[in-house]
Amino acid sequence: MLTPPIPVVLPLLMAALLAALHRMPRPLAFLLSILTTITVGAVAIALLNYSREEPLIVYWFGGWSPRQGSAPGIGFAIDTAGAMLVLLTSVLATASLIFSSRYFDTVGTLYHSLLLIFVAAMNGFALTGDLFNLFVFFELMSVAAYALCGYKSEEPGPLQGALNFAVTNTVGAFLALTGIALLYSRTGALNMAQIGRALGDRADTLVVVAFALIACGFSVKAAIVPFHFWLADAHAVAPAPVCALFSGVMVELGLYAIVRVYWTIFSGALATHEAEVRTLLATFGGLTAVTGALMCYAQRHLKRLLAFSTISHMGILLLGVALLTPQALAGVELYVVGHAFVKAAMFLAAGILLHRTATLDEIELARRPRRLWVPAALLVAGAAGLAGAPTFGTFWGEMMIGGAAHGLRNEWIEGITFAASAATAGALFRFAARAFFGWGPARDPGSKIEELPDTQTGHRHTPAAMWVPAVGLMVAGLVAGLAPRLTGAALSSAIHLEDRAGNASRVLDHMAPYPPAVGDQPLMAGDVARGAGCLAAALLVAWLTLKSRAIFPAGRLRPAVRWLRDLHSGIIPDYVTWVMVGTAAFGAAAVLWLRG
């Protein structure tokens, strides 16, 4: 079987080649990079096809297959979710590369090499079945991201953003590594399936602490409150095509790691405390969704606004993950896909806006509104997508998460999801209305973030290389939701992911359990009503804000929002303090409630 290493090895090889031949003409560099990402996408589709018959494709590097149920080598454990993430990465990366092919200020071939390394790392992260390999790809992904974030190093902003990003994520990586070391000491293994088997069905202090450390470490990447402070800073300053990848895939991979690690390693040991795990994760998720939505509303810089909406939606995703049922996990998968397309398209739209007007500030744009149809349409459609309007992936995702929440009588989760989606979508509607149509002039005492364009020349029209990928992504997001038997496919994928014992025997004992057939979740009128209702709520919220003069109205909430905004100080010591506070809180809760 030749294909499993390709999503990782091909981009790495091409990155090395491009770095060696760094004087190659720019179109050639772009051509090679785009061909690479397209090839990886094709391989992902092949893997997806294959995974319909074989729920888990196992590939051992160096030929070190398992012996007597123990795995000495590094293995890829490719299931539908992983292959889907690789496909998503390839599509987004191709779009970003096409977007930046015309005017982006590339520095030799450094941009292409770093982007390809970034893509390779994300692919490896999604496909691997080995815990330390997961960590290595996590580090690789992060390092490429730090460099890409500080890309526009002529300005001071990107440097601060990149530093905040780098220091906070490095601390997160150390936390995760500590947890991994603890697991290694207990089980003597680094293969996830083997660790899961060795942990048995009881969790003592060490196991619980390892879970807390690994979850907190990956939560930094996943921008869960209070580990989230770096994300807005990083997104505000990174170039638009890079932000598309950050918000579209990278942040979601942090959550994917938590899901993987929980289901493959800890679900047996923590099985008796499922309710407590649910509460713990849901608390963090709810907190994230609400904080993200509030902060999102108070922003005037488009990329920072989109960044906080990502944080809010990560909260929604964590709420879905917290439910711990296959239906909820299937909803999360669909939501991730829908959100990725929509968010990436919106970041590319921000890039187009920056290219044409050299500013992304809502107030400044409101003073001289420009009728730029492509970014306007993309932002409005994207807002609808974030609100969970029908046929976006987010709609199906919310439907399934809501169904799962109902089943567990956790309706408050639905409530928070609804409110957060409406708020973030409303903020985007408000931005579009002010920036493109000049409705409701406003003033805001908050700080303005200066930003120089990513592009060199040609600010008078939007080149096809820019609007085609952006529109294409948005259309893909809409159309993907029309795929037949979407919920059924997601449901079977989720069931396989959660099948700890079955996966372990596939990985370690070369045995193939028969995959059960799963039906679709039927679409109910209530779901469509909810989707439409959320959209309506978002429009209402936007309209109410436009009528008032301030960016963030609601006088009684203002001191709270002011306090929240002050917390996001841009100061690294503050951020790291919050990471420690969050870890201590999660760890204490875990030790108190998840043992035994």
Contacting other proteins within 146-205 (CB under 8 A): 146-147, 150-151, 153-157, 159-164, 166-167, 170-171, 174, 177-178, 181-182, 184-190, 198, 205
Classified as helix, coil or strand, 358 is coil
Scanning residues 295 to 314, which ones bind other proteins (CB under 8 A)? 298-299
User: Does 63 interact with other proteins (rule: CB under 8 A)?
Assistant: yes
- 132: nearest Cα among 83, 61, 63, 84: 61
* Number of residues located near other proteins, criterion CB under 8 A: 107
Residues 219-278 that bind other proteins (CB under 8 A): 232-233, 236-237
Interface pattern 499-518 for other proteins (x via CB under 8 A): --------------------
Which of 109/492 has CB closer to other proteins?
109
Q: How far is the CB of 581 from other proteins (least distance, A)?
A: 5
Give the pair of three-digit tokens for residue 50. 């294959």
Helix (H) or strand (E) holding 465: helix 464-480
Burial 291-320 (b: 16+ CB within 10 A, else e): bbbbbbbbbbbbbbbbbbbbbbbbbbbbbb
Residue choice 25, 27, 53, 62 for contact with other proteins (CB under 8 A): 62
DSSP, residue by residue, 513-570:
PPPPP--PPPP-HHHHHHHHHHHHHHHHHHHHHHHSSBSS--GGGHHHHHHHHHH---
| x-marked contacts with other proteins along 432-471 as a string, rule CB under 8 A | --------------xx-x----------------------
In whole angstroms, how close is the CB of 245 to other proteins at the nearest point? 15
| Position 110 contacts other proteins (CB under 8 A) | yes
User: Shortest distance, CB of residue 439 to other proteins, whole angstroms?
Assistant: 24
Q: Which of residues 113-132 bind other proteins (CB under 8 A)?
A: 113-114, 117, 120-121, 124, 130, 132
Binding mask 339-358 for other proteins (x = CB under 8 A): --------------------
Q: For the CB of residue 90, give the shortest distance to other proteins in the complex, in Å.
A: 18
What does residue 130 show for φ and ψ, rounded to 5 degrees?
-120, 135
Query: Which of residues 492 and 583 has its CB atom nearest to other proteins in the complex?
Result: 583
**Residue 425: C-alpha distances to residues 231, 297, 485, 529, 534 (Å):** 19, 9, 28, 17, 9
What distance in Å separates the CA atoms of residue 150 and residue 114, rounded to the nearest whole number?
12
Q: Footprint of other proteins on residues 550-579 (CB under 8 A)?
A: 565-574, 576-577
- Tell me if 197 sits within 8 A of 188, measured CB to CB: no
**Which range, of 10-18, 335-343, 408-416, 527-535, touches other proteins by CB under 8 A?**
10-18
**Least distance to other proteins, CB of residue 461, Å:** 24
Q: How far is the CB of 185 from other proteins (least distance, A)?
A: 4
The span from the CA of 70 to the CA of 263, in Å, is 19
Contact 46, 98 (CB under 8 A): no
Q: Does 56 bind other proteins (CB under 8 A)?
A: no
Burial of 26 (0-12, 13-18, 19+ CB in 10 A): middle
For position 320 contacting other proteins by CB under 8 A, the verdict is no
Q: Does 28 bind other proteins (CB under 8 A)?
A: no
Nearer to other proteins, 166 or 340 (CB): 166
Report the alpha-carbon distance of residue 247 to residue 589 in Å, rounded. 29
**Which value, to the nearest 10 degrees, does the dihedral of the CA atoms of residues 496, 499, 502, 503 take?**
70
Residues 513 and 371 sit within 8 Å (Cβ to Cβ):
no
Nearest residue (CB) to other proteins, 45 versus 167: 167
Q: Which of 81, 83, 98, 140 binds other proteins (CB under 8 A)?
A: 140
